[in-house]
Amino acid sequence: MTKVKSPSLKRRDFLRGATAGAAVLVTTPGAPGKPLTANPRTGPPPPMSHKAEVEIPSVAEVLTADRTGSDFMVDVIKSLGIDYVCANPGSSFRGLHESVINYGGNKSPEIITCLHEESSVGMAHGYAKIEGKPLLVFAHGTVGLQHAAMAVYNAYCDCVPVYIIAGNIIDATKRMPPVEWSHSVQDAAAMLRDYVKWDDLPISLTHFAESAVRAYKIAMTPPMMPVLLIADGELQENSIPNDAKLSVPNLVLATPPQGDSAAVSEAARLLAAAENPVLIVDRAARTPAGMALLVELAETLQAAVIDQAGRLNFPTRHPLNQTERGRDAIANADVILGLELNDFWGTIHSFRDQMQRTSRPITKQGAKLISIGSGNLFFKSNYQNFQRYSELDVDIAADAEATLPALIESVKRQLGTRGKSALQDRGARLATAHQQTLQNNREAATYAWDASPVSTARLCAELWGQIKNEDWSLVCTTGFVSRWPQRLWAFDKYHQFIGGSGGYGIGYGAPSAVGAALANRKHGRLSVNIQCDGDLLYAPGVLWTAAHHKIPLLTIMHNNRAYHQEVMQVQIMANRHSRGIDRAKIGTGIDEPSIDYAKLAQGLGLYAEGPISEPKEVGPAIRRAIEVVKRGEPALIDVHTQPR
Amino acid sequence: MNNWIFRSTTVKTSVRRTRSAFFFYQLPTSQIGFFMVLASTVAVLLTAMPTEAGTTGAPRQASKPAMGNVQNGKLVFEIQGCNKCHGSEGEGLATPGQKGAVPRIATTSLALPTFIQQVRKPAGQMPPYSSQKVSDADLADVYAFLQTLTTKPVASNAANPKEGQRLFTTYGCYECHGNLGQGSTRTGGSRLGPPQIPLSGFVSYVRQPNGEMPPYASKVVSNQELADIYSFLQSIEQPPPSNTIPLLNQ
C-alpha cells in the first residue's frame, strides 16, 4: 500500500471519516437500503461488507504515523529528568500514554498505574517530599482533573511541586461523539486555576516545549506549587511534519530568592540581643541541608526551636527542641522568628471555640516578631489558606532555607564574643527542659498502656521498637496519633518525616505514603505509614498500585472506626444545644459493620494481618510484616485503636 | 415559647460578659487601666440599680469595701482571669500541696482585709494584682461572689464506677480524653484518670469549662451521673512508672 502523506489529513479528520464510514456500514448489511431495526449500539457487530473487503480504495488513507507530537512531548518530558508518570488511563491523553510506554520505553518516565486521579496527585505529593522534585501526572482534562482537584489543593497549600499534564480536545469539529464531547472543555485549567501556580494551553509543539520547561521551572521555584499543562489531543496525535524544526529548551532552575541583606541584618540584631529567642519552623527545611542550617542557627543562638512539622526541620531529640512545651516557650519569648511559618497569627494566639469565639495573644507584650518566608511572594484571593493577618516587626519575603546562611553569618557577627556564658546558661536551661519534657511524654504514654483498643501511645511505641534500627522513613502525618512519634522517637534525618497534607483534605494519607515509598525504594529505606481508616476509604485502590508496582511500604492501620474529628465537632454542637449528647457518632462512625482492612488489603494483593485489639499482639505482627516489606512488597497490619 | 424568651435573655447576658473579656484582651496595657476605671464606674452604677432580688445597692467607696456586689464580683473574677487558675467556681485546679496546685478559694475563710492583702502580695506563685489593676471595691465584690459559692454535695447516692464507665463512653467524654481518660495532646483533652481535682471542682469544670471543652449542662448530665463518671476515673489504677517499660526507654 502506498502511503500518501497529506498534512491536511489529520487524525480527527480520519476519525470523522471513519465514523461516517461506519454509518454507511451499519445501513448496508442485511437488506440494502433499509435501516437496521436493531440498535447498532446494543446489537451484534455488523459483518464487513463485500465491497469494503475486495475493492481497492481510489485513494489510500493515511492510517499510520512514524512519529507524532506525543513522541516529541516525551522527549521534552525526558529532558526534565522526570522518573514516573502516575496516571489513571484516559483517552484524551492516549497519544502521550502510548508514546511514554513505546517511544520512551516506559523508563524515565515509567507509567505507574493509578486507580483514581486523587491517588495520582497524592502519590506525586508524597514523592516530591522525599525526592525533592516532581513526578508527572496524566489526567483527563475534565473528569480526571475533577477527581484530582482535592489532592491538587493539598499540594498547593503544602507548597509541593506537582506536574500535571491533562488531555483535552480543543477543536470542536474533531471530537468524536458522544464521550469526547462530554470529556472536552473550553478552559480545562479553569477548575484548578485558583490553586495551581501556573497553567498553559500550548497550541504548537514548540509552544509545548517552552511551556513544559517553563512549568517545571515555576513549580520548582519557591514557593513550590503544582503546575498544569493542557495537551491538546490533536497536538499529541498528529504527525510531526518532515520540515518541522523542533528543539527542546534547556532547563536552568531559578535560584531561590534570598532575603534583603538589610532586613536580614536587622533580624540578626534582634535575635542576637534577645534574652529568650524562639525559632518556629514549619516548612523551613526543603532539603537535608536546610535541616543542618537550622541546627546551626539554633546552636549559634542557643535558642528554643518549635517544629510545627510541615517538614522534618529539626531533630526531635536535640536539646534545643522545645516543641512539646512550645506554648511556654512562646509566652516567654522576647524575639520570635518564624521560618516558612504558614500560620504566624494562629501560632501566637489562643483561640477558643465556644458560643462566642474569642482569641487572645499568648506572647508577652513587646515581643518582636520576625518572619522569613516565601508565602509573601505568591498570593491568590479565593482560597483562604493564607491565614489571618499578623502584625510583624520584620517581614522578609524570601525562601527561608536560601536565606539561612546569610542570617547565620550575620548572627555570628552580631554576637561576637559577648555573652557566651549567658548563651551557655540558656542552652543548659533548655536542655534540662527538653529532657524533662521527654520524661513527661514517657510517663504520659504509660496511661492506658495495656488498654484495649490499643492506645495510640502504645501503638507508636511498639512500632518504634521494631523500626528503630532500620533506615526508616515515616511517610505520614502524626497529628491523628497525638504526635507520639515526635514525642517518643528519635528523628534526625530529613527523609524520616514528610509532614502533613497542607490543605487538611482527607484522602491524602494513603496515596502520599505510597508516593513517598516509591521515592524511598531506590534508597532501600523502610517506609512506614500510620494510616487512618477514614482516609484510606477515600481511594483504597492505591494499595493495589503499591502491590502492582512492588512498592515496599509498611502500613499500620490507626483504625478508630470513625471520622473522629467530626465526632468531636458534632459533640460540641450537641453539648452547646444541651441535647442528644449520646448521638455524635451518627453520621460520623465507621462501624457496624466494622471494616476488615486486612481482608481489604489482601484482596488488593497485599500481605495483611488483623484486626488486632490486644496491645501485646501488635509488636509481633509488625515484625512479621516488616519481613515482607524487606522483600520489596507492601504489607498492612490492622489495629483497632483508641480515638487519638 | 417561654423557654425561648428565657434562653435569649441568658445568652444576651453571656455575650456582654464575653465581649468585655475579649475587649480587654485586645487593648494595649496602657489602656486597660482606663477601661478598668470605666468598668468600675459602670459597676458602681449597676450597684445603684435594682437587682433581681429587689435590693438597691448604695454607691460604694473604695476605702469602705464592707459589702460586695456579687454580680460585679463574678464579672471582675472572670475579666481578671481569676477563673483561669482557680476555676469558674473557685474550686482550685489540683490537690492543694502538690506542685503547681491552685488552692480552692470558694467560700474563703480569710477575712476581707486579709483576702485583699493576699491578692496584693500573694505568698505563692500567684501574680500580684495592684490597686491600679483592680480596686479594693472590686475585690470586695469578688469576695462577696466567692462567699456565695458554698460547696454543695454533688450527688446524693453512692457513685457507681461501672455506670460511670458506660456514661464516659456514651456521653462522648472518651472522644477527647481517651477510653481510660489518658488524655491527648491532639484533642486538647487533658488526662483525667485518676482525677487530680476534687469532685466539686470536677463538676464545676464540666458545667462551665474555661477552655475548649464543650459544656455539659445539668439538663443533659445530672450531678449523680457526673459522680458516677468521677468514680470511674477514680477507679483507674495508676500505671507503672515509665522506667519499668522497656519500650518507653529506647
Summarised one tens digit per residue, pLDDT across range A427-447 is: 999 999 999 999 999 999 999
Q: In what helix (H) or strand (E) does residue A96 lie, and over which residues does it extend?
A: helix A94-98
Size of interface A-B (CB pairs under 8 A): 137
Nearest CB to A482 within list B184, B211, B214: B184
Average pLDDT of the residues in A308-323: 98
Question: What's this model's pTM, rounded to 2 decimal places?
Answer: 0.81
- Three cell numbers written together for A421: 556564658
- In this prediction, residue A43 carries a pLDDT of 65
Residues of B in contact with A353 (CB under 8 A): 212
- In this prediction, residue B83 carries a pLDDT of 74
Nearest CB to A360 within list B25, B240, B247: B25
Average pLDDT of the residues in A457-465: 98
The 3-state DSSP class for residue A351 equals strand
Distance of CA B60 to the CA centre of its chain: 26
Residue to substitute from A306, A356, A364, interface B, most B β-carbons within 10 A: A356
Task: With CA atoms as reference, report the closest residue to A639 among A615, A620, A623.
Answer: A615
Task: With CA atoms as reference, report the closest residue to A520 among A625, A621, A632.
Answer: A632
Alpha carbon distance A486, A474 (integer Å)? 11
Residue to substitute from B31, B84, B177, B185, interface A, most A β-carbons within 10 A: B185
Alpha carbon distance B223, B210 (integer Å)? 19
SS (H, E, C) A19-58: HHHHHHHHHCCCCCCCCCCCCCCCCCCCCCCHHHHHCCCC
- In this prediction, residue A418 carries a pLDDT of 73
Residue of B nearest to A566 (CA): B175
Residue to substitute from A323, A351, A449, interface B, most B β-carbons within 10 A: A449
Most confident by average pLDDT, A45-49, A399-403, B73-77? A399-403
Query: What separation in angstroms does the CA of A409 have from each of A284, A344, A406, A523?
Result: 18, 25, 5, 34
Confidence band of B67 (pLDDT split at 50, 70, 90): low
Whether A353 and B242 lie within 8 Å, measured CB to CB: no
Q: In what helix (H) or strand (E) does residue A428 lie, and over which residues does it extend?
A: helix A420-446
Confidence band of B36 (pLDDT split at 50, 70, 90): very low
Alpha carbon distance A223, A284 (integer Å)? 11
What is the full DSSP assignment across B149-174?
Answer: -----S-SSPP-HHHHHHHHHHTTHH
Average pLDDT of the residues in B48-75: 51
- Three cell numbers written together for B111: 477575712
What is the least distance, in Å, from the CA of B180 to any CA of chain A? Answer: 6
Residues 6 or more apart whose Cβ sits within 8 Å of residue A392: A344, A369, A370, A371
Task: With CA atoms as reference, report the closest residue to A441 among A499, A486, A490.
Answer: A486
What is the least distance, in Å, from the CA of A360 to any CA of chain B? Answer: 6
Residue of B nearest to A443 (CA): B242
What is the full DSSP assignment across A249-281?
Answer: PPP-PPPPPPPPHHHHHHHHHHHHH-SSEEEEE
- In this prediction, residue A7 carries a pLDDT of 41
Query: What separation in angstroms does the CA of B73 have from each of A182, A632, B27, B136, B200?
Result: 69, 69, 22, 11, 21
Nearest CB to B175 within list A355, A445, A567: A567
Residues of A in contact with B250 (CB under 8 A): 464-465, 468
What's the CATH architecture for A69-237? 3-Layer(aba) Sandwich (3.40)
The fourth-level CATH superfamily of domain A447-640 is Thiamin diphosphate (ThDP)-binding fold, Pyr/PP domains (3.40.50.970)
- In this prediction, residue B93 carries a pLDDT of 55
Residue of B nearest to A450 (CA): B239
Q: Would you call A221 exposed, middle or buried from its count of C-beta atoms within 10 A (0-12, 13-18, 19+)?
A: buried
Domains of chain B by start residue, with CATH: 2-147 (no CATH), 161-235 (1.10.760.10)
Whether B175 and A564 lie within 8 Å, measured CB to CB: yes
Q: Are strands A635-640 and A554-559 parallel, antiparallel or unpaired?
A: parallel
Alpha carbon distance A630, A634 (integer Å)? 9
Distance of CA A353 to the CA centre of its chain: 30
- In this prediction, residue A62 carries a pLDDT of 85
Residues 6 or more apart whose Cβ sits within 8 Å of residue A518: A84, A112, A123, A126, A127, A549, A551
Share of chain B above pLDDT 70, in %: 64
Distance of CA A442 to the CA centre of its chain: 32
- In this prediction, residue B219 carries a pLDDT of 94
Task: With CA atoms as reference, report the closest residue to A418 among A301, A326, A339, A504.
Answer: A301
Does residue A268 surpass a pLDDT of 80? yes
Residues of A in contact with B186 (CB under 8 A): 479-483, 644
Q: Are A581 and B216 in contact (CB under 8 A)?
A: yes
Does residue A30 surpass a pLDDT of 70? no
- In this prediction, residue A34 carries a pLDDT of 46
Higher-pLDDT residue of A584, B2? A584
Confidence band of A87 (pLDDT split at 50, 70, 90): very high
The CB density around residue B218, as the number of other CB atoms within 10 Å, is: 13
What is the least distance, in Å, from the CA of B52 to any CA of chain A? Answer: 25
Task: With CA atoms as reference, report the closest residue to A123 among A507, A547, A640, A571.
Answer: A507
Task: With CA atoms as reference, report the closest residue to A400 among A256, A197, A252, A304.
Answer: A256
The top-level CATH class assigned to A261-438 is: alpha beta
Strand-pairing partners, residue A589, are A562
- Three cell numbers written together for B112: 476581707
Whether B239 and A464 lie within 8 Å, measured CB to CB: no
Average pLDDT of the residues in A307-316: 98
- In this prediction, residue A29 carries a pLDDT of 37
- In this prediction, residue B101 carries a pLDDT of 58
Q: Would you call A504 exposed, middle or buried from its count of C-beta atoms within 10 A (0-12, 13-18, 19+)?
A: middle
Nearest CB to A643 within list B170, B178, B239: B178
Share of chain B above pLDDT 90, in %: 31
Confidence band of B91 (pLDDT split at 50, 70, 90): low
Whether A453 and B187 lie within 8 Å, measured CB to CB: no
Residues of B in contact with A564 (CB under 8 A): 175
Whether B214 and A572 lie within 8 Å, measured CB to CB: yes
- In A459-553 the beta strands, taken as DSSP E runs, fall at 472-474, 526-532
Does residue A22 surpass a pLDDT of 70? no
Does residue A3 surpass a pLDDT of 70? no
Confidence band of B95 (pLDDT split at 50, 70, 90): very low
Query: Do A69-237 and A447-640 have matching folds?
Result: yes
Alpha carbon distance A280, A571 (integer Å)? 32
Whether A448 and B186 lie within 8 Å, measured CB to CB: no
Domain boundaries defined on chain A: 1-64, 69-237, 261-438, 447-640
Confidence band of B71 (pLDDT split at 50, 70, 90): confident
**What ipTM was reported for this prediction?**
0.86
- In this prediction, residue A410 carries a pLDDT of 98
Nearest CB to A483 within list B22, B28, B186: B186
Residue to substitute from B242, B244, B245, B249, interface A, most A β-carbons within 10 A: B242
- Three cell numbers written together for A495: 527523609
Whether B242 and A567 lie within 8 Å, measured CB to CB: no
- In this prediction, residue B151 carries a pLDDT of 53
Residues of B in contact with A479 (CB under 8 A): 186
What is the least distance, in Å, from the CA of A356 to any CA of chain B? Answer: 7
Task: Tell me the pLDDT tens digit for each residue of A566-614.
Answer: 999 999 999 999 999 999 999 999 999 999 999 999 999 999 999 999 9
Does residue B113 surpass a pLDDT of 90? no
